[in-house]
Amino acid sequence: MEYRKLGNTSLELSTITYGAFAIGGNMWGGNEQKDSIASVKASIDHGVTTLDTAPFYGFGLSEQMIGEAIKGYDRSKIQLLSKFGLVWDGSNQGKGEFFFDAEEAGKKIPVYKYASRANVMKEVEESLQRLQTDYIDLLQIHWPDSTTPIAETMEGLELLIQQGKIRAAGVSNYSVPQVAEAQKSVNIASNQVGYSMLNRGIEKELVPYAREHNLGIIVYSPMERGLLTGKYLESGQLKDNDHRNGYFQQFDLEKVKVFLDTIRPIAAAKNATLSQLVLRWTSLQPAIAVVLAGARNADQAIANAKAMEVDLTAEELQFINTALAKI
């Protein structure tokens, strides 16, 4: 495993970081809690010291399971990353920006973006309880909230740093102008954004900005929610309540299949899976500090961790990029 310093902070994170969205269950067709906890433990045992979660993932369940899974480990050697700013329980009292209706047990649950200073302080206390810890290594606003001034949100993060409840502040899904505005109020360590072989939009503005300002980029959905594993292009079946049934339709699936077949021999030559090849390619892109990878069980977690053992030459990277250009 490789460990990388995050931005201009003292945090060192495992390049492959455990992404805990799917273990929350909502939107992913559910998962067995014992398998989820086993996947977290297996990750840690194989060098993945960084775990990324959020209150919204399973409406608190993901954080609770992370808290249970890390019992017995040296907390000082584990980096917990969480978020705030998505509210679903009505505690925003009608404030904030409506985001979408989530579904849980057949019921629609309205979710709002709400990142007032007071809500930042409230949510972190709830996360600390669920995670069973007294500090969070990196706290990130989950999505921009157009109804709250960025400076107000960042003031809350700065206060939490001063109180010792968080070690560093980050943002998620922020544009370059939003990051620049946030940095006026607090030292922003990172921006967590979607990025993959099929989604390279951040390379135009965010990557150059990050390199110039020593901002860490944390990548989510590098596997495009499983599409780049190739298994859903063959015989993989998704449950009816799995959001990926619609998500995958944005891509030209035939071209994706041709691309994966083109790079498959590279993975085979290295005794690696397509997933490991994709994760390793992602980790080698400019300004990328951390690559989030989800796992539903211990075997998947171990495979993700071993992606960093895949050695790619400059020629192989160029071959992959040339194949990508044809999609």
Query: How far, in Å, CA of 292 to CA of 17, rounded?
Result: 5
* Beta strands per DSSP E along the chain: 3-5, 12-14, 16-19, 50-52, 79-84, 86-87, 97-104, 107-113, 136-141, 166-172, 188-194, 216-220, 288-293
| Residues 6 or more apart whose Cβ sits within 8 Å of residue 240 | none
DSSP-derived letter for residue 93 is: T
Query: How far, in Å, CA of 320 to CA of 327, rounded?
Result: 11
DSSP-derived letter for residue 96 is: S
* Rg of the chain (C-alpha set): 19
List 18, 57, 195, 232, catalytic entry: 57
57 flagged as catalytic: yes
Select from 42, 14, 16, 22 the least CA-distant residue to 225. 22
3-state DSSP call for residue 213?
helix
Phi, psi of 282 (to 5 degrees): -60, -40
Residues with a catalytic annotation lie at 57
